[in-house]
Structure formats: C-alpha cells, structure tokens
Amino acid sequence: MATSDFGPDLTASAALVEKADPPRFRAAMAAPVAARRLLFPLYAFNVEVSRAPWVTGEAMIAEMRLQWWRDALEEIAAGGKVRRHEVVTPLAEVLDAEGARVLDALVEARRSDIEALPFDDEAALARYLDLTSGGLVWTAARLLGAGPDDEAAARDAGHALGLANWLRAIPALEAVSKRPLPDGRPEAVAALARGGLERLARARKARGGVPAAAMLPLAGTGHVLSVAARTPGAVADGALEPSPFALRAEMAWRAMTGKW
C-alpha cells in the first residue's frame, strides 16, 4: 500500500479507509503523496462518524459515539490540547478551526441516521447530503488549497456524490427498515437523480481552483445518477454500479488530466 513512510497513526487511518471505504481509498492513492497525508485522516474520520449510528441498536450509545467526535472537533477548533487517538491525532495536524466547524455540522447531520424515520421532504434530504457529503468534499478541497470562491462548486460536487452513494445504498437501507427516500415513486426518483446531475454539471462549470485530488471520489457519480434518471427501477434493484474497469479507467484519467 505505498504508505510505508507514514507514521503509525496515519498508517492506521489509511488502513481503516482501505477496509471500510475502498472507493475513497483508491481515490486517495490516485492523488499525489502529499495529498494523501491530508486526505487519509479526513476520510478515516468520515468512516468512523458514518458508521457510528449503525454499529449499535441502542440510540443512546450511537448518540454518545457521535458526541465523542463532536467533542474531539471542539478540541481541534479551540487549538489547545487534543485527545490522543489514531484518527483524531493526525486529523488535528491538518484541520483548522473552520474545517472543524464544517465537520461538526457533518457529525450533527449524521444523527438522523440513528432513527428509522424518513426525511420529511426532498429539501430535508438535500440538506442532509449538503452537510454530510458536501461538507466532506468541501473540507477535502480546503485542505488541498481551495479558496472561499470554490466552496459552492465543491459542495455541489459533494451533493451529487452523496446522492449517488445514497441511491446505491437504497437496498441495504431498506433491508434494515430505513425509509431512505421522501418519495419512492419512479418519477420522483428520476427527478431526484436529474437534480443531482444538474448539481454535478454546475460544479464542473464553476470548478475554478477546486483541486482535482479532492474530486477523485466522484468517479462513477455521473454514471450512477444517469442510470437512476433513465431507469429509476434500477435503484431498488441495486443495479446502478458501473463496471470496475470503467471506474478504474475514469479515476485514472481524472488523476492524470486533473479534470473532474
């Protein structure tokens, strides 16, 4: 895994991402080595937070897990002593106070994963995607040098990625009695996917100085949303995925050209 020059914490973060989030691991490994040092702690944090609501059936324990991460982010934002942890420690080395605030909003949004209640409406789902995936992609872009003028494009791209991943997860979510969509009718699903494609196109049009290395996880996003828009029944069937070869080829091309 070409991370032999990492310290033990960063190596542990990379290993966690490799095991729990292979797409982002591949994206990080396709980025320059210097970028990996910034991305692996962030992606490991995302693994820990995204799975916290699902590792226990006890809502109170899940709440406590998420609060633990909010407390860690508060320590990072304060700029003082930060708790020792194989993910928190390297994250604190790369994250500033503004980044910590963005990730705190991400953690807070994840509280909705604890309950099986559906989103009230499409706007509530959009807000969830903006705070979670949008916040993550924007933070990655900031770590790699993006400026304030790049935030809208990064968040639009993150929203599209989050929606694609959410649609991919529909069968698994429904299997655990989660009602993942505010409106599951085929025409509503297709409209949702078209909205995601519009956000992706808007992001690419305004890409400006958004670093390509932060956008490599978007490989396959356009394909997934296009299939869902054309054939919304493919969402429930779990038939959205591009071929592994196509995914690898797209990511390699984007890494080589810097175009996302």
pLDDT in tens, 56-115: 878 999 999 999 999 999 999 999 999 999 999 999 999 999 999 999 999 999 999 998
Same domain, 107 and 181: no
Same domain, 93 and 172: no
Same domain, 45 and 146: no
pLDDT of residue 87: 98
Residue 33 domain-assigned? yes
pLDDT of residue 2: 53
pLDDT of residue 4: 57
Residue 121 domain-assigned? yes
Mean pLDDT, the chain, as a whole number? 95
Instruction: Please give the structure tokens belonging to residue 118.
Output: 């559906």
pLDDT of residue 3: 59
Residue 1 domain-assigned? no
Sign for the pseudo-dihedral over CA of 104, 102, 105, 7: negative
**What does the pLDDT look like over 189-242, one tens digit per residue?**
999 999 999 999 999 999 888 999 999 999 999 999 999 999 999 999 999 999
Amino acid at 3: T
Same domain, 138 and 247: yes
CB 103 within 8 A of CB 45: yes
Same domain, 145 and 193: yes
Residue 32 domain-assigned? yes
What's the whole-number mean pLDDT along residues 133-151?
A: 97
Residue 95 domain-assigned? yes
Same domain, 102 and 133: no
Last residue of a domain, one of 115, 145, 167: 115
Please say if the pLDDT value at position 141 is more than 60.
yes
The domain total for the chain is 2
Residue 253 domain-assigned? yes
- Among 60, 65, 28, 59, smallest CA distance to 43 is for 28
**In this structure, how many other beta carbons lie within 10 angstroms of the beta carbon of residue 97?**
11
Same domain, 231 and 197: yes
Kindly state the DSSP code that residue 132 receives in the 8-state scheme: I
Instruction: Please give the structure tokens belonging to residue 22.
Output: 């292979």
Same domain, 129 and 86: no
Sign for the pseudo-dihedral over CA of 123, 191, 186, 136: negative
Please say if the pLDDT value at position 54 is more than 70.
yes
Residue 28 domain-assigned? yes
Residue 2 domain-assigned? no
**What does the pLDDT look like over 1-52, one tens digit per residue?**
455 578 999 999 999 999 999 999 999 999 999 999 999 999 999 999 999 9
Same domain, 54 and 126: no
Angle at 73 between CA 166 and CA 99, to 5 degrees: 70
Same domain, 164 and 235: yes
- Among 242, 223, 225, 159, smallest CA distance to 190 is for 225
pLDDT of residue 128: 97
Q: What percentage of residues in the chain have a pLDDT greater than 70?
A: 98
- Among 202, 190, 184, 74, smallest CA distance to 134 is for 202
**In this structure, how many other beta carbons lie within 10 angstroms of the beta carbon of residue 217?**
28
Same domain, 128 and 108: no
Q: Is 213 exposed, middle or buried (0-12, 13-18, 19+ CB in 10 A)?
A: buried
Q: Domain of residue 136: give its range.
A: 116-260
Instruction: Please give the structure tokens belonging to residue 5.
Output: 């020059």
Same domain, 111 and 130: no
pLDDT of residue 1: 46
Last residue of a domain, one of 71, 88, 115: 115
pLDDT of residue 115: 83
Last residue of a domain, one of 89, 115, 141: 115
